[in-house]
């Protein structure tokens, strides 16, 4: 009788153990990861996705989800849980501060983080140090022909009647800390027929248009972390008045998900801390200019740095 009871108990324990262990491992998630439509978003989003999968999370992949405004609305509504966003974007979301705040890396980050947590229960995690700020670029040949080095030179060129066709995003064109800020700071004005305004911020497409001279494009919006600038022989116009804000790429997480899985708050810290300007430019170049797969680039980087098993 004792043997029967002990045997039955042993069988029960084995069944209970085998039934519970896998369930506990698969309890984490699903968590939906989404990014904007650009090569940098694809690289960083895949880093988040790979790190989470490596940590045992079930992840829903929505890399390349949409434009900045679409991505933000999806995060606020709970359609997606984790995104890559940029600290300077707090100005668009309702965080009130003067221009100097957005030009300071830590002040801009802190302002955005505090506002979003208090207002929307959205958590900004540890940012990268690479500044993906908005700038204008021209080809090296055009810069030499027109003697363009700074935004002041560009303003003089515009005001002297020079031919201009700028390609940029709508969010940059309509922004007081973007094109509108440049125009006010340096004293020039572009008309609608001097611009091609895109709904998205994919500068790989913009740089391609500049490189090829498509539709007369001779000036393009670029980001500080764009990896194709040197390879494509582009010159970034210096901005001595520091008009655009600092944009540090940051994992941004819905508060409800952070509360359910608090380990996510630290899971990406080491990875994003490793992303300085040179590193991110190099990774972006492999995808935007070299044509490599973003997920492969992300995985190789994580493995090379020992950030993922």
**Residue pLDDT, tens place only, 55-68:** 999 999 999 999 89
The pLDDT, as a whole number, for residue 26 is: 56
What is the band of 131 on the pLDDT scale with cuts at 50, 70, 90?
very high
Overall average pLDDT of the 108-125 stretch: 98
pLDDT digits (tens, 9 = 90+) for 245-296: 999 999 999 999 999 999 999 999 999 999 998 899 999 999 988 899 999 9
Residue range 102-130: mean pLDDT, rounded: 96
Out of 18-22, 207-211, 221-225, 235-239, least confident range = 18-22
User: How confident is the model over 83-94, as a mean pLDDT?
Assistant: 94
* Angstrom distance (rounded) from CA 104 to CA 40: 22
How far from chain centre, in Å, is Cα 163? 32
Mean pLDDT of the chain: 91
209 band by pLDDT with thresholds 50, 70 and 90: very high
Residue 200 is predicted with a pLDDT of: 86
CA dihedral 93, 249, 258, 308 (to 10 degrees): 170
Question: What is the CATH T-level fold of the domain 134-236, as seen in this structure?
Answer: D-Maltodextrin-Binding Protein; domain 2 (3.40.190)
pLDDT of residue 227: 85
pLDDT at 284: 93
Strands 59-66 and 31-36: parallel
Distance, CA of 64 to CA of 58 (rounded, Å): 19
Indicate the domain borders of the chain.
Answer: 24-131+248-304, 134-236
Q: Hey, which of 11-20, 96-105, 238-247, 262-271 has the most confident mean pLDDT?
A: 262-271
pTM for the predicted model, two decimal places: 0.79
Please give the pLDDT value at position 14.
Answer: 40
Q: Which two tokens stand for residue 238?
A: 């210096």
Pairing relation of β-strands 82-86 and 31-36?
A: parallel
24-131+248-304 CATH pick, 3.40.50.300, 3.30.210.10, 3.40.190.10, 1.20.120.530: 3.40.190.10
Q: What is the average per-residue pLDDT within 143-154? A: 97
pLDDT at 20 over 80: no
Reply yes or no on whether the pLDDT at 41 is more than 70: yes
| pLDDT over 90, % of the chain | 77
Paired sense of beta strands 249-254 and 59-66, if any: unpaired
pLDDT band at 22 (very low <50, low <70, confident <90, very high): very low
Write down the pLDDT at residue 21. Answer: 46
Q: Are strands 166-169 and 219-223 parallel, antiparallel or unpaired?
A: parallel
Residue 17 reports pLDDT greater than 50: no
C-alpha span between 75 and 13 (Å, rounded) = 43
134-236 and 24-131+248-304 share a CATH fold = yes
Q: 144 vs 1, 138, 162, 236, CA distance in Å?
A: 96, 10, 14, 12
* pLDDT above 50: residue 7: no
Mean pLDDT on 23-46: 87
pLDDT of res. 287: 92
Q: Give the tens place of pLDDT for each residue, 150-203.
A: 999 999 999 999 999 999 999 899 988 899 999 999 999 999 999 999 998 888
Predicted confidence band of residue 103 (pLDDT cuts 50, 70, 90): confident
Distance of alpha carbon 63 from alpha carbon 35, whole angstroms: 5
CA 7, CA 234: separation in Å to the nearest integer? 76
């Amino acid at each position: 009788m004792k043997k029967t009871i002990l045997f039955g108990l042993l069988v029960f324990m084995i069944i209970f153990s085998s039934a519970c262990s896998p369930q506990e491992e698969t309890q984490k998630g699903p968590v939906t990861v989404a990014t904007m439509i650009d090569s940098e978003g694809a690289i960083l989003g895949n880093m988040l996705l790979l790190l989470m999968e490596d940590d045992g999370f079930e992840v829903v992949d929505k890399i390349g989800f949409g434009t900045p405004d679409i991505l933000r609305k999806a995060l606020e509504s709970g359609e997606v849980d984790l995104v890559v966003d940029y600290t300077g974007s707090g100005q668009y979301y309702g965080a009130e501060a003067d221009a100097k705040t957005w030009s300071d890396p830590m002040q801009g980050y802190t302002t955005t983080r505090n506002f979003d947590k208090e207002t929307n229960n959205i958590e900004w995690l540890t940012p990268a140090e690479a500044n993906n700020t908005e700038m204008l670029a021209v080809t090296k040949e055009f810069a030499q022909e027109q003697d363009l080095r700074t935004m002041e030179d560009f303003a003089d060129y515009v005001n002297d009647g020079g031919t201009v066709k700028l390609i940029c995003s709508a969010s940059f064109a309509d922004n007081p800390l973007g094109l509108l800020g440049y125009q006010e700071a340096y004293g020039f004005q572009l008309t609608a027929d001097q611009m091609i305004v895109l709904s998205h911020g994919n500068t790989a497409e913009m740089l391609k248009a500049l490189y090829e001279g498509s539709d007369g494009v001779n000036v393009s919006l670029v980001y500080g972390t764009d990896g194709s600038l040197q390879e494509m022989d582009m010159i970034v116009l210096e901005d001595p008045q520091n008009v655009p804000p600092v944009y540090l790429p940051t994992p941004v997480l819905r508060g409800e998900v952070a509360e359910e899985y608090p380990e996510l708050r630290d899971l990406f810290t080491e990875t994003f801390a490793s992303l300085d300007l040179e590193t991110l430019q190099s990774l972006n170049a492999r995808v935007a200019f070299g044509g490599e797969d973003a997920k492969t680039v992300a995985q190789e980087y994580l493995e090379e740095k020992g950030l993922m098993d």
